[in-house]
Amino acid sequence: MQFSFTQVLARILGESGFAAFLEDPRSLIMILISFVLLYMGIGKKFEPLLLVPIAFGILMANFPLTGILEEGGLFRYFYFGVEHAIYPSIIFLGIGAMTDFGPLIARPSSMLMGAAAQFGIFSAFLLALALGFAPAAAAAIAVIGGADGPTAILTASKLAPELLPPIAIAAYSYMALIPMIQPPLMRLLTTEKERKVKMEQLRTVSKAEKIVFPIAVATLVILLIPDTAPLIGMLMLGNLLRECGVTDRLSDTAQNALCNIVTIFLGLSVGCKAVADTFLTWDTIKIIVLGLLAFLLSTTGGILLGKLMCVLTHGKVNPLIGSAGVSAVPMAARVSQVEGQKADPGNFLLMHAMGPNVAGVIGSAVAAGFMIKVFGGIL
């Protein structure tokens, strides 16, 4: 047999991924989308820690002929952690280890603002149903309104795995855009006088209170809504590691190394599910729109309860802290601080807004647990 360089070259090209693009050019569109997301993550710094791995996962998943998603493929194993709620729960462990619940313990009424800010979840659920989504899918989409990425991913993986990539991308993109999404609504719904309200100092929270808090919350919430166990349990374990004072190394690992490692796997796993067949559909557009509405409605719910509390306390609560009830820790609290200082440069709302902010994390986990319970996912 005679060696022919041109024949070998033609064969290599014929069996390459480039040739496969000609068979299904939609993969090229997905690759372009991954480039856009990479630009948003790297160039615009929109939640880069998650958006960059997600975008790279999309890129990898849409290269033809790699077999990376098939049985025995690398991403197939990575996805196991999403499928079985491992990654979101470990991320919650890290969030718990990073969170100071002191402001919430000092002002327990902040809990109610965290609850009101889940309004977007339940109203977006109704809107998603109206747009023709099945109930379980509508529930998964609605959880975007909780502004909590891991919770949205966990709910989607249980209730609508086929919608996981657009839900995760919408959730993280809107979380990154909170400083742009929330302020106009905050100014619209509050008066100048309300925004200028200065709040009293928070009391000192003892170490014992901070240690007992995660144990008590985990016990109570999980006993009442067992479906929240993976999220609330890990969140509170992380917080206990932080506060108990004898597990500094574990707390440090949960906050940094472990959280970072799992973030890589989580991002890649979410990205690898974004293939043309399931991503390039009208449903994706609807999810993006619904996600935005859910965010706006959640913010509205938090601010309106803040206004109510302002009235009930005779002007001692600044309604701006209500918007921080959407989870997105600590970005939403920072937005409250910035808006408060715009109204009055001497107004420091950050610590006050952290209360509703961390309450929102618990609230969105409870809302997600409720949705999973009702629509049949099994954790």
- Comparing CB distances to other proteins, the nearer of 31 and 217 is 217
Could you say which of 20, 129, 280, 293 contacts other proteins (CB under 8 A)?
129
Could you say which of 140, 147, 225, 237 contacts other proteins (CB under 8 A)?
225
Total residue count of the chain as it appears in this document: 379
Contacting range for other proteins; rule: CB under 8 A; set: 62-70, 89-97, 286-294, 348-356: 348-356
Could you say which of 43, 188, 192, 201 contacts other proteins (CB under 8 A)?
201
Q: List Cβ<8 Å contacts ≥24 apart for 16-21.
A: 16/65, 17/63, 17/64, 17/65, 17/66, 20/64, 20/65, 21/64
For position 375 contacting other proteins by CB under 8 A, the verdict is yes
For position 362 contacting other proteins by CB under 8 A, the verdict is yes
**Rounded CA gap, 75 and 78, in Å?**
5
Q: Which residues contact 234 (CB under 8 A, 6 or more apart)?
A: 89, 90, 92, 93, 96
- Comparing CB distances to other proteins, the nearer of 75 and 125 is 125
Contacting range for other proteins; rule: CB under 8 A; set: 33-41, 162-170, 215-223, 279-287: 215-223
Could you say which of 126, 257, 289, 312 contacts other proteins (CB under 8 A)?
126
Q: Which residues contact 28 (CB under 8 A, 6 or more apart)?
A: 21
- Helix or strand run (H / E) with residue 254: helix 248-255
How many residues bind other proteins, per CB under 8 A? Answer: 61
For position 149 contacting other proteins by CB under 8 A, the verdict is no
Tokens 């109206």 belong to residue? 130
* CA distances in angstroms from 160 to 3, 133, 134, 137, 155, listed in the order given: 53, 10, 9, 5, 8
**53-72 binders of other proteins (CB under 8 A):** none
Could you say which of 24, 83, 162, 209 contacts other proteins (CB under 8 A)?
209
Contacting range for other proteins; rule: CB under 8 A; set: 68-76, 111-119, 175-183, 269-277: 111-119
**Rounded CA gap, 52 and 48, in Å?**
5
Question: What is the distance, to the nearest Å, from the Cα of residue 80 to the centroid of all Cα atoms in its chain?
Answer: 19
**247-306 binders of other proteins (CB under 8 A):** none
For position 223 contacting other proteins by CB under 8 A, the verdict is no
User: Is 158 in contact with 377 (CB distance < 8 Å)?
Assistant: yes
Could you say which of 105, 141, 234, 320 contacts other proteins (CB under 8 A)?
105
User: Is 211 in contact with 236 (CB distance < 8 Å)?
Assistant: no
Phi-psi region of 190 (alpha: psi -120 to 50; beta: other; left: phi over 0): beta
Report the nearest approach of other proteins to the CB of residue 129 (Å). 5
Report the nearest approach of other proteins to the CB of residue 372 (Å). 9
Structure tokens at 117: 């800010």
Tokens 């400083």 belong to residue? 179
Q: Which of 322, 315, 273, 277 is nearest to 301 (CA)?
A: 322
Report the nearest approach of other proteins to the CB of residue 34 (Å). 33
Question: What is the distance, to the nearest Å, from the Cα of residue 21 to the centroid of all Cα atoms in its chain?
Answer: 33
Structure tokens at 234: 């890990």
- Comparing CB distances to other proteins, the nearer of 135 and 315 is 135
Contacting range for other proteins; rule: CB under 8 A; set: 117-125, 147-155, 178-186, 258-266: 117-125
For position 246 contacting other proteins by CB under 8 A, the verdict is no
Report the nearest approach of other proteins to the CB of residue 379 (Å). 13
- Comparing CB distances to other proteins, the nearer of 32 and 224 is 224
Interface ranges with other proteins (CB under 8 A): 100, 102, 104-105, 108-109, 111-112, 114-116, 118-119, 121-123, 125-126, 129, 134-136, 159, 198-206, 208-209, 212-213, 216-217, 220-221, 224-225, 345-352, 359, 362-363, 366-367, 370-371, 374-377
